[in-house]
Amino acid sequence: MDPIVSKKWLLARMYEPDLVIVDCRFELGRPTAGQEAFAQSHIPGTIYLDLEVDLSSPVSTYGGRHPLPDPDVLAKRLSQAGISNNSRIVAYDDQGGMYASRLWWLLRWLGHDSVYVMDEGFSAWKDGGYPITDAQPTIIPASFVPNLRHDMLADMNEVKQSLSDHGVLLVDSRDASRYAGEQEPIDAKAGHIPGAINSFWKQVLDDSGAWKSDQLLSSQFSRLTEAMDKGQEAIIYCGSGVSACPNVLALHKLGYSQVKLYAGSWSDWISYEENPVATGEE
């Protein structure tokens, strides 16, 4: 099944007992904004999971700005939120699917396939006249047992080894100016990992903010898919392992399995002083 589901699809199934809807709204620089937006209005029955509280570990010396959560800690949080191994999960946000895709990736990393991202996001749901509420959901705890897929993840050493490996293609998901090192509003160094190509994550969306068709996605990722069709592996990164997730999702949607996320991403890479930095175009 397509990992991107429509508003109408969700509306038709939102009260089915095995379905859990998760609000992932968040704003960098305003860490309480998502929770406040959820308290004001959300899709009925939805639970809220916070990028930094629930879907990341605390920041340390290495690991980037949004380190992956400990799998057992995340599994416990999912259980508390009423998510079991038998649940179908639909995630949404209001930021083009960036944060919802993080939850999609995390659940698949934990071995759970029945997870989807709602197309267009909460504002489109609300503006379309679909039901909303400010009522807090009643949560019945469940049991989620993780079964980690280690092959979905790349660490810094694997990325470093890929610099001299023609069988691996590095993909930077940040916007072109950050990739080129022309500006860096967040991290301590500007530029990209040497050899990486640039594919800004927002290019998975059309002008209306909806996900592009598979045909358009295939055209957009042609350089990457041609390489993977020849047996190459892709490692996707961004600033902190969040906005890379829509690109990973898009490639999964197109049927490519040899795709890894460098979860620490640029913010982890530059935390090692000896790591090389490139600027400009590749």
Active site residues: 238
User: What is the greatest pairwise CA distance in the chain?
Assistant: 54
Task: For residue 109, give the DSSP letter.
Answer: H
Cα separation values, 265 from 141, 193, 261, Å:
33, 9, 8
β-sheet bridge partners, residue 219: none
Round to the nearest angstrom and report the end-to-end CA distance of the chain.
36
Q: Which of 16, 46, 214, 200 is nearest to 125 (CA)?
A: 46
* Angle value at C-alpha 77, between 29 and 94, nearest 5 degrees: 40
Note whether 68 and 103 are within 8 A (CB): no
233-237 and 168-172 strand pairing: parallel
CA torsion, points 254, 257, 259, 260, in degrees to nearest 10?
A: 130
Residue with tokens 């996320």: 261
The whole-angstrom separation of Cα 84 and Cα 82 is 6
Sheet holding 47-48, edge to edge: 4-5, 115-118, 88-92, 19-23, 47-48
Q: Which of 108, 193, 111 is nearest to 159 (CA)?
A: 193
